Chains A and B, each alone.
Chain A
Amino acid sequence: MDTPVSQDVTRKTLESVVIRFAGDSGDGMQLAGTQFTQTSAVAGNDLSTFPDFPAEIRAPAGTLFGVSGFQLHFASKEILTPGDDPDVLVAMNPAALKVNLAEIPTGSFIIINSGAFTKSNLKKAGYESNPLDDGSLDAYRVLSIDISRLATAAAEPSGVGAKSALRTKNVWTLGLLYWLFDRDRTSTTEWLKQKFAKKPELAEANIAALDAGHAYGETAELPVGVELYKVPQAKLPAGTYRNIEGNTALAWGIAAAAKLSGTKIMFGSYPITPASSVLHALAPLKHFGVTTFQAEDEIAAVCSAIGASWAGAVGVTSTSGPGMALKGEAIGLAVMIELPLVILDVQRAGPSTGMPTKTEQADLFQALYGRNSDAPLCVLAPKSAGDCFTMAIEAVRIATKYMTPVILLSDGFIANGAEPWSIPDFADLPKIEVRHHTDTKDFHPYVRDPETLARVWPVPGTPGLEHRVGGLEKDFKSGHISYDPDNHHKMTQVRAGKIMGIANDIPEQDVEIGESSGKLAMVSWGSTYGAVNEAVRRARADGKDVSQIHIRYMWPMPRNLEALLSNYEQIIVPELNAGQLVKVLRSEYLLPAQSLPKVAGRPFRVGEVLDAIDEALAGKESN
């Protein structure tokens, strides 16, 4: 039995909602997702997103592998993950339903575009009978609407062709969701006007579809169980906020570092998923003191950056796992000649080409050890999209102060996921002091700062500082080429000692949540921050003795980390790889850390971490 609703109907208040948009990769699901995100941000919710799309730009329509998804978690409380299970699934075709249904808890709300449930689409998705008719969706609250037809009807009067009219079905759906969740259409309307400024009929068609979807919600009779909701504003700390994705934050952090250091940045990069958008974000920022260079390959990208650093700028390059492998030799050269260099590695699932659009944290070993011989450098890992901004600046600070390459490990999840970010004031950001060497007295290129062990940074063009550097070993005292065995031993130690000394220049490791000793420490790094944080909070609310330690400085690690970790009876390291940080902790500290690996191309679900906590503590109690 259907229940009529009207505008007067009271809305049910929810603390948080997870919506997953799913459709063909050409259905505009990413667009619908980002628009809902933007609108929720404006409504003052905290949020976290997880775009999940295939590598194919336009996979064949209707196929299972062509399904593109966008999950959005928005709430009136603080949230750090895109949510485990969707409360709402939007399925624009049979394939989208098939791919996602297994992850939808029974009782959830599913909005279906019945117009796409044609015989041929059902066949492509591998359905033998139509799930809309065969009772297989009885356990869910289903709102089945011929969105294709309704959107086309709404858009066609604007004078766009039938094909363009049909394409508005994502925006129509968005209109309906805006009604169901009490969202304001203004921001999307404005955005559509801007996007189609040169094709006003398309703007009109899309706005008509948006309004039609909204009006449908207002007037149609919605089935039982489908209610109207509202998610009030989250109580975020005071400040000015924006939504930010990790790659944008990396790019802006680099631009800010150029200003903070008063030093030119030369960004040499080669397109690779999921790092390319860092280059896209920096290319228009030339007036910030950033020169971008799209090189012919990954190797040329890093080499151009090193050349730039040698010439007195800060060389920065961005890449993902396969590109990191190609850059290895050149990074070793930067270690050897001791030049600042920042490598942004937006990790993806591998090995080899792997799953380019899927996330993973499996380049930690490559970052720490992936070069010939002993070639230590500094490795950082931001914990969230917003933290990418902070850590990009930190990478430039360390690289220039210590004359060393710094690898920053982001990942596909942080890169594309959005979160509200409290915008810092430029005046509050730490200045970066860059000193180009000018003193010709007793000069050689390996004169070192006795405290940091960093060598001087003489810049070509400076009279009296002419010198030659290269990948050959040099004499500690003169900087000339040297094959002396004792000297090589000493230089190897000096290079390592310089990097280890950075530990004195970074914050001590703190405890993210919990106590500085106890039964169990969950050690997270990079993008596992959110899921582990949420899991530890929930476990602690249940009275469990568990703490979270989140590491952002991967090498050198914080100077108190060993002592801190030794205070816990058990240590578990959840990470999106087969167990890398756990091995580093075990080998460095001889601590019995346990691994919680996940290599599925997806972030941890809170539940998975929670289960590990429960299991560890239950095991402990039964002992």
Chain B
Amino acid sequence: MVPLDPPAAKKLTKKDFTSDQEVRWCPGCGDYAILAAMQRTLPELGATREKSVFISGIGCSSRFPYYMDTYGFHTIHGRAPAFATGVKLVNPELDVWLITGDGDGLSIGGNHLLHVLRRNVNVQVMMFNNRIYGLTKGQYSPTSLVGLKSPSSPMGSIDAPVNPLAFALGANARFVSRGIDTMIKPLSGLFKEAHAHTGTSFIEILQNCPVFNDGTWTHVTAKDISHDLQVWVEHGQPLLFGKDKNKGLVLTGEEVKVVTVGENGVTEADVTVHDETNRAMAFALAQLMAPEFPMVFGVIFRDPGPAYDEGVVAQVAQAVERNGEGDIDALLRSGHTWTVE
């Protein structure tokens, strides 16, 4: 295998991770912000260009690898998780970021996303969710809302949408999080958390498509309402939100209630404390959709477990330890043989 040690201690900057390719997303696309967040975050992580790998499927988001001056693999529609798994099984030391979208990851690639999550391959999955097919010009996607009118649903979509966080949690993902394209600082923080996690980390990024689905998340992301509709969760902290941090979520059984601290005798102690290791709580939080409820952001679930690629490598090492390096002559002569003089 090739040497993997970084060659020099030169401090890398955002520029080092920016490729010479002209970015071809539409003006105003949320992808620009996500790209900037990533290019800014990698130097802060101490990442090297040669060990960083971006693997994508097909779609607007999947052009992402071309703009990173790292190793990049633009594969086929929906299958990036399978390619990434192959890469990690050969070289688990590579730092693999998987770039996908709601169509690529949850429609054509739903199967592979399920399996990479449940196997817990050590990669970071970034799903850009703009609730629309962009590259094919605006058809409804598996996360589009019922009623969405699009070229393929002129009378309104009647497809029930999939909830990416709930999907990931149902697939037994061990790191499930959500961010927003234009909130670069928290997004960068999520990239770091995801990077630090061993196993598959799943990040849903609410992303705006200004051409085909403009404003799809405005009811959550608009500055004037964001405080009331975004709950940034933190492990061990009460689920508080609102400009004055006086609103809270109370989870009782399967029910989630929004309360105001100081009203009707509610105190901060009544607000549910976020437990990122509680899958049931994560599932309940994942269901919350604006505008009826605030939506949760940050690391919603985290429960590290053995990474698949490490397990595979360990079995190979164990096989070598038990049997020694394979001997072809011995293999071909195993079992019954006979000699003709």
Contacts and interface: CB of A to CB of B under 8 A. Distances in A.
Contacts of B6: 463
Given A242-B335, A287-B325, A460-B53, A236 B340 contact: yes
A187 interface: yes
Contacts of B55: 307
Given A236-B340, A285-B331, A312-B2, A307 B115 contact: no
Contact of B79 (A287, A303, A425, A464): A303
A571 B253 CA distance: 79
Main secondary structure of the interface of B (DSSP, over half): mixed
Interface size class of A (residues with CB under 8 A): 35 or more
Contacts of A467: 71-72
Interface in B55-71: 55, 58, 65-66, 68-71
A312 B91 contact: yes
B315 interface: yes
A252 B85 contact: no
Given A240-B337, A286-B316, A304-B89, A255 B328 contact: yes
Nearest to A480: B21
Nearest to A258: B326
A167 B81 CA distance: 47
B277 interface: no
Contacts of A291: 89-90, 312, 316
Contacts of B79: 299-300, 303, 330
A306 B326 contact: no
B50 A460 contact: yes
B86 A470 contact: no
A241 B340 contact: yes
B155 interface: no
Contact of B89 (A42, A44, A266, A299): A266
A468 B66 contact: yes
B284 interface: no
Contacts of A315: 86
Contacts of A241: 337-340
B82 interface: yes
Interface string A134-161: 0000000000000000000000000000
Contacts of A266: 86, 89-90
A287 B338 contact: no
Contact of B86 (A293, A297, A463): A293
B94 A293 contact: no
Interface in B283-341: 312, 315-316, 319-320, 322-326, 328-329, 331-333, 335-341
A239 B329 CA distance: 14
A331 to B, nearest CB: 10
A180 interface: no
A310 B7 contact: no
B84 interface: yes
Nearest to B52: A466
Interface in B1-38: 1-4, 6-7, 19, 21
Nearest to A336: B76
Contact of B71 (A295, A333, A466): A466
Interface in A393-434: 423-426, 429
B75 interface: yes
Nearest to A288: B326
Interface string A184-217: 0001000000000000000000000000000000
B232 interface: no
In the complex, which range does the number of interface residues on chain B fall in?
A: 35 or more
B339 A239 contact: yes
B74 interface: yes
Nearest to A436: B2
B50 A307 contact: no
Given A423-B332, A423-B337, A468-B66, A460 B87 contact: yes
Nearest to B320: A287
A238 B21 CA distance: 63
Interface in B88-145: 89-91, 93-94, 111-112, 114-115
Contacts of B329: 425-426
Given A300-B115, A459-B2, A461-B91, A42 B338 contact: yes
Contact of B87 (A286, A311, A470, A471): A311
Contact of B315 (A286, A289, A301, A470): A286
A255 B323 CA distance: 15
B73 interface: yes
A463 B7 contact: yes
A237 interface: yes
Interface string A487-499: 0000000000000
B49 interface: yes
A472 interface: yes
Nearest to A426: B328
Contacts of A187: 336
Nearest to A429: B328
A274 interface: no
A438 interface: yes
B339 A240 contact: yes
A300 to B, nearest CB: 4
A297 B111 contact: yes
Contacts of A239: 339-340
B51 interface: yes
Contacts of B65: 468, 470
A307 B324 contact: no
A492 to B, nearest CB: 19
B167 interface: no
B111 A296 contact: yes
Q: Which residue, A187, A236, A467, has most C-beta atoms of chain B within 10 A?
A: A467
A559 interface: no
A307 B337 contact: no
A38 B337 CA distance: 10
B83 interface: yes
A481 B341 CA distance: 61
Nearest to A437: B2
A470 B74 contact: yes
Nearest to A463: B50
Contact of A466 (B69, B312, B323, B337): B69
A612 interface: no
A424 B89 CA distance: 31
Interface string A517-559: 0000000000000000000000000000000000000000000
20 contacts: A38-B336, A238-B340, A240-B339, A241-B337, A241-B340, A266-B89, A288-B325, A299-B82, A304-B83, A307-B73, A307-B87, A308-B89, A308-B90, A312-B2, A313-B90, A423-B333, A438-B2, A461-B93, A462-B2, A468-B73
> 9 closest Cβ contacts across the A-B interface?
A470-B74, A307-B86, A288-B326, A304-B86, A303-B82, A307-B83, A468-B72, A300-B82, A286-B319
Given A291-B312, A303-B82, A463-B6, 12 more contacts: A264-B90, A286-B315, A293-B86, A296-B112, A303-B76, A304-B86, A310-B83, A426-B329, A460-B50, A462-B50, A463-B49, A469-B73
